[in-house]
Amino acid sequence: MPLIHEFLIAPKIGFELNQIVRNNNGRINKSKSGIDYLVELDDEFFQYFSDTLKWIPNETGNRFGLNYYGLTDIYPNGASVLKKIITGWYEIFENAPNEIKLTGNYFWRDQIDKGEYEKIEVRKANLLKILSELITLCNLVEDNDDLIILHLGI
């Protein structure tokens, strides 16, 4: 299973993590979990966006950014900032070719002195769909003090 960051809408009060039911492949089963909105973002895009994700206010220990591992509670004010950031990325990628090629992280294979950059390839329509779904989550939470976006890191 690829590394996935999950974003879902949860009530601010009364949601328990043990409500989440996962399929055999490790993905969240929305219907069995009682979740209406779920967005999955591949880790390679989370890392690509990571500098801008550090600007999001949250209600978890570090107060800004999304936890790479573990949970992050994003309240309405954070949802507004996340929406602006994701909308910016959406507008950038809207101008991309249909097959997007990005430069990812630098990594080494067997030789310590020789490495290369990861190549990230994605269909524009697929990436825009994910970003649009994240914007929808933000829209639902930013004006509702009873809801949060819950980010589940890898």
For residues 61 and 108, which has the higher predicted lDDT (pLDDT)? 108
**What tokens does 79 get?**
């949802």
The pLDDT of residue 139: 98
C-alpha span between 37 and 137 (Å, rounded):
7
pLDDT tens-digit profile of 3-47? 999 999 999 999 999 899 999 999 999 999 999 999 999 999 999
Q: How far is CA 76 from the centre of its chain?
A: 16
Answering whether pTM is above 0.95, one says: no
Within 10 Å of residue 77's Cβ, how many Cβ atoms?
14
98: left (phi over 0), alpha (psi -120 to 50) or beta: alpha
The residue-averaged pLDDT of 115-129 equals 96
* Segments in 7-121 forming alpha helices (H): 30-33, 43-48, 50-53, 76-94
C-alpha span between 154 and 145 (Å, rounded):
27
CB 82 within 8 Å of CB 138: yes
pLDDT tens-digit profile of 47-57? 999 999 999 99
Confidence band of 61 (pLDDT split at 50, 70, 90): low
Enter the DSSP assignment of 19.
Answer: G
Round to the nearest angstrom and report the end-to-end CA distance of the chain: 11
- The contacts of residue 133 (CB under 8 Å, 6+ apart) are 37, 39
Q: Residue 102: which of 126, 127, 121 has the closest Cα? A: 121
C-alpha span between 105 and 93 (Å, rounded):
19
For residues 137 and 58, which has the higher predicted lDDT (pLDDT)? 137
